[in-house]
Chains A and B, each alone.
Chain A
Amino acid sequence: MTALLTVEAVSKRFRGLLAVDRVSFTVPQGAIFAIIGANGAGKTTLFNIIAGAMTPNGGTITFAGKPVDGLPPDAVCRRGIARTFQIVRPFPALSVEDNVTIGALLHRRDVGAARAHTHDLLRQLDLFDKRHRLASTLTLPDRKRLEVARALATGPQLLLLDEVMAGLRPTETDRMVAILRALNRETGLTILLIEHVMRAVMALASRVLVLDHGVAIAEGAPEAVVRDPAVVQSYLGAEVV
């Protein structure tokens, strides 16, 4: 297995608070890798560091063989890592189509070609019929899929999903899981996701990392991790097992 993303001893300190404490893990190419943990465990901070929105205080991040720590967010995206936001941020006054076209234009000069690619993605994500609606008029599940579409339009090798299932009902969660699984299977897209919705984690992830107070306390196959006593104690609670 080739490692697509290698995170090595990454730390992040906010004045007195050590939010991420020497976390290391590797995401193999083509895998779906989940990071779980209680709120405040440092998951989104870690994500922001990988995506370039924050710089780490220590450690290195290697993507496709090249270092990416310290790069600004737009450069990280151009390297091939795309992300979504925990609180969705579509471009509100623009249409669904325009939103995704902007992503598609990253690696395409021609607007027409970008729009064609956009249409393909919208069809995959079940948003084609709504392509002329303004992003601000969409429901939350639609906006989440829109953000995923926009991220995908930039042609990434690695997709970072920050709690993309939050706020979705079970049927919508299943829909999103199906879409992500299909993408992973058909295009080999590597996915790194932060999730609280265990239903989605168990259905999607081939590997799981658990964070607690900034420290990685367990890593492995989902079935093993959810039975790990430390994980149960810090996050899951006995009912899940």
Chain B
Amino acid sequence: MIARLGADLSPRSAVPLVVLLAAFLLAPFFVNDYLLTVLILILYFAYAGQAWNIMMGFAGQLSLGHVIYVGLGAYVAATLFTRYGVGPWIGLLAAIPVAAACGAIIGYLAFRFGVAGVYFAILTIAFAEFARIGFDHLDFVNASSGLFLPVKQYAHNDLWLLRGAPTMFYYVILAATVFAFVLCRLLLHSRIGYFWLAIREDEQAARAAGIDTFRYKMYAVMVSAAVTSFAGVFYAFFYNNLFPEQVFGISRSIEIILGPIIGGVGTLFGPILGAFVLTGLAETLNALMGAFGIDLPGAKQVFYGVCLLLVVVALPDGVWPPLARRLGLIGEKK
């Protein structure tokens, strides 16, 4: 079912999809700056979650240290920009191989030595923490003092250097999210996607069917890492400051996975829906608390925790599958 959800979207779902896309395209004209930032955040998590989903939802490898690819992407692009004036899109061309190589190393070490399941997850955390502490001491990138990107007042939007108004960033991340969605759909329907699903379902049986599981797991990790690195590049140029503590922090890894898990691991819409639900509710909570004058640092995380708890206990497949069924967006093919 999880595999078919994207594949067998009935023709009925085409209309809502178009409407949704149109809504996203027109949003900046109707919302204020604050809401626009919220939307950017939602799309950012939708994108990152989608990228993570490739490894987990498709190939069944649980990465809890995914933030390492975001961080690498961010620092590579930011360093190239601050030191050598290289624009972010070129920087992305450098960030992708770096992230993919990192993924390859982690994947190789894990898969060659039979590190799987929980142990694999812990390994990914260890690598992410290693990177965090490492970058915290790396003077080349300003270590813990932070790396800052120069921000001048922008008279117009510079897409090449990603300097400009939030609206520009909004469309960039929207395009990226659409790209990620399309990419995932293509992958899922391809030979590689089928092999990934087989590995996720039962690795032994997949091997018995002739699949070189080592190779395909490596592909999953590397593709996921490469796609995730763009999130880092975006992060660097949107926030303009990087601190290893924040960029590589373990809570960031958890934030990335919350969306797909709440939305539905392995589905195409899960990460997007999950990001919406999570960030939307969190911001609502923030607004409510602000309205009552309550300032509780940590309240938002408690809320995240409770959401995660409820979803894990009551909706193990995520919110999307039952919702999609209810809306009749997926159906049995004849």
- Residues of A at under 8 Å CB distance from B? 51, 53, 72-75, 77-78, 82-83, 85, 89-95, 98, 101-103, 105-106, 109, 111, 114, 132, 134, 150-151, 154
B173-224 interface (Cβ within 8 A of A): 189-191, 194-195, 197-198, 201-202, 204-213
B1-48 interface (Cβ within 8 A of A): 1-4
A92 and B201 contact, Cβ closer than 8 Å, known pairs A83-B208, A106-B210, A154-B209: yes
Q: 7 shortest A-B CB distances, which residue pairs?
A: A77-B210, A91-B201, A106-B210, A89-B205, A73-B207, A74-B207, A102-B198
Least CB distance, B167 to chain A, in whole angstroms: 40
Contact A132 B208 (CB under 8 A): no
Least CB distance, A63 to chain B, in whole angstroms: 14
Q: How far is the CA of A90 from the CA of B332 in the complex (A)?
A: 20
A74 and B212 contact, Cβ closer than 8 Å, known pairs A89-B205, A111-B191: yes
Residue of A nearest to B198 (CB): A102
Cβ proximity bits B304-334 to A, threshold 8 Å, 1 near / 0 not:
0000000000000000000000000000110
Residue of B nearest to A109 (CB): B191
Chain B residues contacting A101 (CB-CB under 8 Å) are 194
A151 and B209 contact, Cβ closer than 8 Å, known pairs A91-B198, A94-B197: yes
Least CB distance, B197 to chain A, in whole angstroms: 6
Q: How far is the CA of A102 from the CA of B190 in the complex (A)?
A: 11
Chain B residues contacting A132 (CB-CB under 8 Å) are 332-333
Least CB distance, B325 to chain A, in whole angstroms: 14
Contact A111 B201 (CB under 8 A): no
Pick the contact of A105 from B191, B202, B213, B333 — CB < 8 Å?
Answer: B191
Contact B211 A98 (CB under 8 A): no
Pick the contact of B207 from A72, A90, A105, A109 — CB < 8 Å?
Answer: A72
A154 and B210 contact, Cβ closer than 8 Å, known pairs A91-B202, A93-B3, A98-B3: yes
A51-B208, A98-B4 given; name 6 further pairs at CB < 8 Å. A53-B204, A73-B208, A89-B208, A91-B206, A101-B194, A154-B209
Contact B210 A74 (CB under 8 A): yes
Contact B197 A91 (CB under 8 A): yes
Contact A106 B201 (CB under 8 A): no
Chain B residues contacting A114 (CB-CB under 8 Å) are 191
Contact A85 B201 (CB under 8 A): no
Contact A102 B194 (CB under 8 A): yes
Least CB distance, A3 to chain B, in whole angstroms: 23
Q: How far is the CA of A173 from the CA of B223 in the complex (A)?
A: 45
Contact A103 B201 (CB under 8 A): no
B60-81 interface (Cβ within 8 A of A): none
Least CB distance, A140 to chain B, in whole angstroms: 16
15 A–B contacts from the bound complex (CB under 8 Å): A73-B207, A82-B210, A91-B197, A92-B201, A92-B202, A94-B3, A98-B4, A102-B198, A102-B209, A103-B209, A103-B210, A105-B194, A106-B211, A132-B332, A150-B209
Contact A134 B195 (CB under 8 A): no
Chain B residues contacting A95 (CB-CB under 8 Å) are 3-4
Contact A89 B202 (CB under 8 A): yes
Contact A74 B202 (CB under 8 A): no
Chain B residues contacting A85 (CB-CB under 8 Å) are 205, 208
Q: How far is the CA of A105 from the CA of B190 in the complex (A)?
A: 10
Least CB distance, B266 to chain A, in whole angstroms: 8
Contact B201 A93 (CB under 8 A): yes
Q: How far is the CA of A75 from the CA of B215 in the complex (A)?
A: 12
Chain B residues contacting A89 (CB-CB under 8 Å) are 202, 204-205, 208
Q: How far is the CA of A103 from the CA of B197 in the complex (A)?
A: 12
Give the one of A89, A92, A154 with max B CB within 10 A.
Answer: A89
Residue of A nearest to B8 (CB): A132
Q: How far is the CA of A219 from the CA of B232 in the complex (A)?
A: 66
